[in-house]
Structure 1
Amino acid sequence: MPTQKADIIAQLQRDILLLQGLRPTLNNAAVDVGLGPIREAFPDGVFPTGAVHEFISRAAEPAAATAGFISSLAGGLMQGGGVGVWISISRTIFPPALKSFGIAPEQIIFVDVHSDREALWVMEEALKCEGLAVVIGEIKEVSFTNSRRLQLAIEQSRVTGFIHRYQPRQLNTTTCVSRWEIMPVASEQEDLLPGVGFPRWQVALLRIRGGKPGTWQIEWSAGKFQPVDKRIPSLPQPIRKIG
């Protein structure tokens, strides 16, 4: 009986996710390569594609780390020659560096705009295009209504979207399937050789629809994610003295 109840609950959860627009696609497995323990946070252990993901950066260093992490995810989605669109007000991406994440610079169409309003419009239109593999928008402020329009745009195209919000005024509610915060972590040199090691990040999955948030450290090397350590447990809150 307990097993039957668990199966019923799991099926109900899958049905709810389908109603919310989360459907498995052929691109899911490509993004999951090397994500290791992070996959346990996703519904059914699969990275949600055909959805919009939200990333938050509060300073320049985390913003650069976030751009790298998003690029690594986009590289999986663009395997086989797919095309992506990258929308920004002030472009900071160095196109040749994308090769480190499995993306040829010519696979990305860069769209430079002047305001969040223009960026949102371009992203919405791009997400409607079934021929794209991924759409990335550097957009500071996204209202619930804006995010809802983006969600509606992908219901037919099943294109995956990433929103990178740098220093937003507030963390408002959106319809995005997840919310992430990426922090840079010091890399380790290989065999005591001079220079810098592979990129490392502390990945905080703050919210995931139908999944379990958590925090991990991962490294990007050999063309895939490598777990640095096990899941970092939540720190206990300090005890306040009364009186």
Structure 2
Amino acid sequence: MKQPADRRDLVERLQKEILSLQGMRTPLDGNPKRFGLGPVESAFPNGIFPTGTVHEFISQEASDAAATSGFMAGLLGKMMQQGGACLWISMQRTLFPPALKMFGVEPDRIIFIDLTNEQDLLWCVEEALKCDALTAVVGELKEVSLTASRRLQLAVEQSRVTGLLHRYNPRRINTLACAARWRVTSIPSELEEGMPGVGFPRWNVELLKVRNGEPGSWQLEWAAGKFQILRMSAEQFKKNLRQVG
């Protein structure tokens, strides 16, 4: 009876080693950081949002780019709860730094680097990802080759820094060596009864590709300093039913 148990242990160890080689490593202290993303986190291996790796975000319209920046800010707020610093590197920054406080990020913990050349931007992102004193690096750029993305992934495998690449209106969506590819779009917010304003930010969050995980689509809201799931798409609901069955 012991042999099957030993075989399961061996398979689990091999799975963890493979995930580790692909950048999906467990935290050094053994305690995974929870982002409050609910079923979105469940789409990743072991049900854990992967840090210490590179995530790719695709935006086609200016409104989508703004929604993506807000969603990334929410992720940064969770990553930087215990302090740390982040580099935000771009060529045409449109972000209003004080707005980061809404997502739990103190603007003075973000170092903004504005460049005029995309090659310089990619080099700067790669060098920043090698710095283990940082918590995260955000790079706003259009084009990234597979070879360049492999260099970025190798950098974070050593430093354990999390990279967020935001590609706004790229010429083509090519294969990259990233843990996940996201698409975030805004959806209408809802006002609380009797309250003025525009409501809390809401997004449709699509996980287009995820290494060793399950792609899906969800609707989220940022309220009271955390992510809240609004509802699943019909496709994701059916998929979850199949998994339960």
Is residue 2:165 matched to residue 1:160?
no
If the length of structure 1 is used for normalisation, what is the TM-score? Answer: 0.90
Deviations 1:80-132 (A, max 9, x none): 22110000000100000000011111000000011221111111111111110
| AA of the residue aligned to 2:55 | H
Provide the residue aligned with 2:21 in structure 1: 19
- Superposed CA RMSD: 2.4
| AA of the residue aligned to 2:35 | V
| AA of the residue aligned to 1:19 | L
Rounded Cα–Cα distance in structure 1 between residues aligned with 2:68 and 2:113: 19
Provide the residue aligned with 2:230 in structure 1: 228
Provide the residue aligned with 1:194 in structure 2: 196
1:44 to 39, 43, 46: 46
Rounded Cα–Cα distance in structure 1 between residues aligned with 2:43 and 2:4: 23
1:176 to 157, 175, 178: 178
| AA of the residue aligned to 2:128 | A
| AA of the residue aligned to 1:139 | L
Provide the residue aligned with 2:141 in structure 1: 139
Change (3 A) 1:180 1:59: same
1:82 to 77, 81, 84: 84
Q: Which moved more, 1:65-74 or 1:33-42?
A: 33-42
3-state SS of 1:76 partner: helix
Provide the residue aligned with 1:240 in structure 2: none
Count of matched residue pairs: 236
Change (3 A) 1:157 1:223: same
- The answer to whether the 8 Å contact 2:54/2:153 transfers is yes
Rounded Cα–Cα distance in structure 1 between residues aligned with 2:6 and 2:235: 31
| AA of the residue aligned to 1:42 | F
Shift of 1:8: 6.0
Change (3 A) 1:72 1:194: same
Rounded Cα–Cα distance in structure 2 between residues aligned with 1:63 and 1:172: 19
